[in-house]
Amino acid sequence: MKKDIILAGVGGQGILSIATIIGYAVIESGYNLKQSEVHGMSQRGGDVQSHLRISDNEIYSDLIPLGNADMILAVEPMEALRFLPYLAPAGWLITNTKTFENIPDYPEKDKIITEIEQLKNKVALDADGIAKELGTTKVMNMVMLGAASEFLELEYSKLEEGIKSVFGRKGEKIVETNLKAMAAGKKIAQEKK
Amino acid sequence: MKKLLLLGDEAFAQGALDSGISGAFGYPGTPSTEIVEYVQSNQEAIERDVKRAWSANEKTSMEEALGMSFAGKRAIVTMKHVGLNVAADPFMNSAMVGANGGLIVAVADDPSMHSSQNEQDSRVYGKFAMVPIMEPANQQEAYEMPFKAFEISEKYEIPVLFRITTRLAHSRSGVTRRKKLPEKKGSMPEYMYQFMLLPAIARKKYKKLLELQKDLEKESENSPFNKYTDGEDKSLGIITCGLGYNYLMENFKDLKKTHPVLKIGQYPLPRKQVEKITSECEEILVIEEGMPVVEEMLKGYLEKKPKIKGRLDGTLPRDGELNPSLVRKALGLASPQGYEMPELVAKRPPALCVGCPHRDSFQALNEAMEKYGKGHVFSDIGCYTLGFQPPFNAINSCVDMGASVSMAVGAATAGFFPSIAVIGDSTFGHSGMTGLLDAVDKKANVVIMILDNDTTAMTGMQDSVVTGRIESICEGIGVKKDHIRVINPLSRHHDENVKVIKEEIAYDGVSVIIPRRPCIQVYAKRKRDKEI
Ligand SMILES: Cc1ncc(C[n+]2csc(CCOP(=O)(O)OP(=O)(O)O)c2C)c(N)n1
Ligand code: SF4
């Protein structure tokens, strides 16, 4: 078992919750984990990335080498493209299609989608739209986690426990919505992969 | 015992707690901030009442930790690399006086300058002060090192420098805890002149520090953090420092033959092992994060055999952070190809949050300054440094914390008008106050804007020591009460705010303007905390 995952998005889009929940499931499964975060300036609407490495062997580097990632999990489509040099030839790109446009020279959305469509292994979905149907775009990140769960080789129930542990103190209802969001994402990935 | 999932910073903090600290001192700074934050939120630390409040700056925090050591208790003090410049005076002299209770100076370096002004390497300071240095390769070592560091610190009465870099500081992994040590009861220094650096005593203490170096070298030779592994192919020997080891091991399995490897985690360099690897191998590759400190030591000025490769000869880049791909290339291995980043991908630089009070402050300042043109605003370090970028283009300098005030004073004494400083509340408490005292003393014609957003926002919203005290501090320093003006940075007050700034520019003397409104992130966080 070895999975190298790049998480990508924009500051404030909930990448760190995704990392924490996967981290929880990994530790509960008895695998080794390294997860590096980016802090500081990136909290103010800049791009953010996190490197997640899972293995049943010892993991040395905290950073994933270029061309080695088994998956890029992006909550924003332009950010998905930014990290392509990390993706292994047989790796998967799992991305949200809803753009987050906070810069004046943001490229045309169609061109971004065309670039994504050219990849062999990809799952692209409008996670914000799906989250909205569940009542709040706040759970967009959990829709994306659900889509990724199809490729993670982790027990789904362990991810569910992770959601409970992260959102538990916010109350039953919030946990419920996040679980539903993850399930919705998973279903779409099953259809699209 | 179940493993704890900890950042490198947190692992060090947990290790320090488990090795019996009574205090964690520090001033926030990326990537060191999580050390004190971890102690602040740790249940055991709270129950034990480990001292854990932020200090005004790195110098005061270093001295507070030294005071705790004087009193016979164990302490850590934390800061980012440039913070050690601020604390350099007490740091250098702490090596002279030494420690009573164990003392660790934990400094986080930021190669590649992810959120810093430079990428200085703290190991240079450690060598300069002649103190032992520990540099972990992974989270488990970051946890273990405080135990060993306190042991050495108390055995030899010397502070120990703990150096960590961004990647490890901000990367999580499982950590296994070991048996806890109790806190120390506290005791007076054995000799009452230990902390007296009068020249006659200082000369003796310096000789003692010089003599100590042999013992410290022995400690390094026997350290569990320095490891020699032999290899079959001696055409190349590899020395790694800190997390350089990880990048080597990431690629090691792909090498045709194994090479001798010296993994270093504790300094001064272990002489015995360094002599072994350099005498047995034809070439040496040094893999170290930060500056080529060890490489330069081995290379010397007059290059001798064996050939030393690393950052100085271009085998690795001279600047910036290392990563597994760069080290792979240095080992002569081919890298797997990823996909190319399409050209259309645009940069996404950080910007001031929508609704940030600094936005309104800059808008008002820009309008008040219209008739003088650009180039008059000295600034400082914090979220407000983003006011350099469009659409504001409001500030013209960012050098070191506190420099805005002193540079404005210096420029004003050169006849520069208007001379404006823009500084955050936490930065003002850190080192703007002394510059303001100079301004008053020199009767400088300056306008100092202290942007009071009720927090240290840039580093993740820590308390600021000046909160609720800014006006009284300015008045106490000698700024005239009529020229300490508080404004509310909101668009609906824009016109009044412009007027206040214009009035104070027109006043020939020291003016302080305090735009006061909480950072919206702090505001949101407080609201969330209240809801839960
Ligand atoms: C000597 C030194 N210590 C610490 C830092 C890290 N640092 C950067 S900005 C900042 C404080 C910012 O707070 P404030 O002045 O209140 O401005 P704000 O970010 O809240 O706008 C700190 C601690 C640094 N750059 N240099
Ligand atoms: S974090 Fe606070 S101070 Fe910093 S840009 Fe955002 S609102 Fe402004």
- Which residues of A, range 162-181, sit inside 8 Å of B by Cβ? 169-170
Ligand nearest to the CA of B470: 1
- For residue range B111-144, what is the model confidence (pLDDT) as tens digits? 999 989 999 999 999 999 999 999 999 999 999 9
Check residue B431 and report its DSSP letter. Answer: I
The pairs formed by A150-153 with CB atoms below 8 angstroms and a separation of 24 or more are A150/A123, A150/A186, A150/A189, A150/A190, A150/A193, A151/A70, A151/A71, A151/A92, A151/A94, A151/A189, A151/A193, A152/A3, A152/A22, A152/A25, A153/A1, A153/A3
Tell me the pLDDT of chain B averaged across its residues: 96
In a domain, B339, yes or no: no
| Ligand 2 binding pocket includes A39 (Cβ within 6 Å) | no
In a domain, B46, yes or no: yes
Separation of A102 CA from ligand 2 center, angstroms? 16
Same domain, B198 and B325: no
Enumerate the residues of chain A whose CB falls inside 8 A of the CB of residue B532: 169-170
B356 CB within 6 A, ligand 2 = yes
* Chain B residues close to A102, C-beta within 8 Å: 348, 351
CATH number at residue B36: 3.40.50.970
How do A2-10 and B160-165 pair as beta strands? Answer: unpaired
Contact B336 A88 (CB under 8 A): yes
Question: Is B83's C-beta closer than 6 angstroms to any atom of ligand 1?
Answer: yes
Residue B249 sits in a domain whose CATH number is: 3.40.50.920
Q: Is the dihedral of CA A92, B112, B267, B97 positive or negative?
A: negative
Tell me, yes or no, whether B177 lies in a domain.
Answer: yes
B403-435 residue pLDDT tens: 999 999 999 999 999 999 999 999 999 999 999
Per residue in B454-493, is it b (16+ CB within 10 Å) or e — as a string? bbbbbbbbbebbbeeebbebbeebebeeebbbebebeeeb
Q: Do residues B158 and B283 share a domain?
A: no
Secondary element (H or E) of residue A27:
helix A15-28
Q: What tokens were used for B472?
A: 């009284």
CB pairs under 8 A between A and B: 149
CA atoms within 13 A on the CB side of A144: 36
Q: What is the average per-residue pLDDT within B393-410?
A: 98
Chain B residues touching A83 at Cβ < 8 A: 341
CA separation for the pair B486, B507 (Å, rounded): 16
- Burial pattern B139-177, b for ≥16 Cβ within 10 A else e, equals bbbbbbbbbbbbebbbebbbbbbbbbbbbbbbbbbbbeb
Residue B162, phi then psi, degrees to nearest 5: -105, 120
| Predicted local distance difference test score (pLDDT) of residue B235 | 97
B54 lines ligand 1 (CB under 6 A): no
Q: Cis ω on the peptide bond leading into residue B418 (within 30° of 0)?
A: yes
Look at residues B193, B221, B249 and tell me which one is the last residue of a structural domain.
Answer: B221
Has residue B341 been placed in a domain? no
What is the DSSP pairing of strand A2-10 with strand A69-74?
parallel
Residues in A 72-101 with any Cβ partner in B closer than 8 A: 78-79, 81-89
Q: Residue B227's beta-bridge partner residues?
A: B263
pLDDT of B70: 98
Residue B358 CA, ligand 2 centroid: distance in Å: 8
From the list B475, B469, B394, the residue with the least C-alpha distance to B426 is: B469
Instruction: Say if pTM beats, i.e. exceeds, 0.80.
Output: yes
Q: How far is B210 from chain A (nearest CA, A)?
A: 37
A88, B338: Cβ pair inside 8 Å? yes
Q: Is A169 helix (H, G, I), strand (E, B) or coil?
A: helix
State yes or no: pLDDT of A41 exceeds 60: no
pLDDT attached to residue A43: 59
Q: Provide, as residue numbers in chain A, all residues whose Cβ is less than 8 Å from the Cβ of B359.
A: none
Instruction: For residues B43 and B179, state if they share a domain.
Output: yes
Q: Does one domain contain both B77 and B37?
A: yes
Spatial separation of the C-alpha atoms in residues B80 and B108, rounded to whole Å: 5
Count of structural domains, chain B: 3
Say which CATH superfamily domain A2-192 falls into: Pyruvate-ferredoxin oxidoreductase, PFOR, domain III (3.40.920.10)
Q: Is the pLDDT of residue B530 over 90?
A: no
C-alpha span between B399 and B403 (Å, rounded): 6
Domain match, B308 and B257 both: yes
B335 within domain boundaries: no
**Closest Cα in chain A, distance from residue B402 (Å):** 20
The pLDDT, as a whole number, for residue A31 is 95
Q: How many residues does chain B have?
A: 532
Residues with Cβ < 8 Å from B526, sequence gap 6 or more?
Answer: none
* All structural domains of chain A with their residue ranges: 2-192
pLDDT per residue as tens digits for the range B490-514: 999 999 999 999 999 999 999 999 9
Residue A147 has pLDDT above 90, yes or no: yes
Q: Does the pLDDT of residue B280 top 80, yes or no?
A: yes
CB proximity A42 to B under 8 Å: yes
Of residues B43, B65, B45, the one with CA closest to residue B55: B65
Q: What is the DSSP letter of B482?
A: G
Domain boundary among B158, B191, B221: B221
- Regarding whether B389 and B321 lie in a shared domain, the answer is no
Which residues in B294-425 belong to E strands, given as ranges? Answer: 307-309, 377-378, 419-424
3-state helix, strand, coil in chain B (%, to 5): 45, 15, 40
C-beta B403 within 6 A of ligand 1: no
**ipTM of this complex prediction, to 2 decimal places:** 0.93
**B31 & B144 share domain:** yes
Which atom of ligand 2 has the smallest separation from the CA of A43?
1
Nearest residue of chain B to residue A83 (CA atoms):
B341
Question: Would you call A87 and B338 a contact, using CB atoms and an 8 Å cutoff?
Answer: yes
DSSP letter for each residue of A114-134: HHHHTSSSEEEE-HHHHHHHT
Q: Give the closest of A27, A69, A79 to B3, CB-based.
A: A27
Nearest CA in chain B to A89: B338
pLDDT band at A39 (very low <50, low <70, confident <90, very high): low
Lowest mean pLDDT among A39-53, A161-175, B355-369: A39-53
What confidence category does residue B2 fall into, taking pLDDT thresholds of 50, 70 and 90?
Answer: confident
Q: Test A43 with B460 for CB contact under 8 angstroms.
A: yes
The reply to whether B144 and B61 lie within a common domain is yes
> Does A125 reach chain B within 8 Å, measured CB to CB?
no
Note the pLDDT of residue B400. Answer: 97
> In angstroms, rounded to a whole number, what is the distance separating the alpha carbons of residues B121 and B293?
8
> Does some domain include residue B34?
yes
* Chain B residue with Cα closest to A50: B171
Q: Same domain, yes or no, for B272 and B128?
A: no
Which candidate, A62, A33, A45, places its Cα nearest to that of A9? A45
Partner residue opposite A62 with nearest CB, options B171, B174, B325: B171
Going by CA atoms, what residue is nearest to atom 2 of ligand 1? Answer: B83
In a shared domain, residues B80 and B112: yes
Domain boundary among B221, B241, B273: B221
Model confidence at B335, pLDDT cuts 50, 70, 90, reads confident
Confidence of residue B1 (pLDDT cuts 50, 70, 90): low
Same domain? For B259 and B214 the reply is no
Residue B528 has pLDDT above 90, yes or no: no
Residue B530 domain flag: no
Torsions phi, psi for A57 (to 5 deg) = -100, 175
Report the relative pairing of strands A87-96 and A69-74 from DSSP bridges: parallel
What digits encode the pLDDT tens for the residues B8-49? 999 999 999 999 999 999 999 999 999 999 999 999 999 999
Domain range holding B207?
Answer: 3-221
Instruction: Report the residue of A61, A99, A110, A121 to disrupt the B interface, i.e. the one with the largest count of B CBs within 10 Å.
Output: A61
Residue B288 within a domain: yes
Kindly give the number of the ligand 1 atom that is closest to the alpha carbon of B85: 1
Residues 47-66 (A) with a CB less than 8 A from some CB of B: 47, 51, 59-66
Pocket probe for ligand 1: among B55, B395, B427, the residue whose CB has the most ligand atoms within 8 Å is: B427
**Residue B24 sits in the same domain as residue B85:** yes
* The token pair that represents B210 in the structure block: 């010089």
Mutate to test the pocket of ligand 2, among B363, B459, B521, B525 (most ligand atoms within 8 A of CB): B521
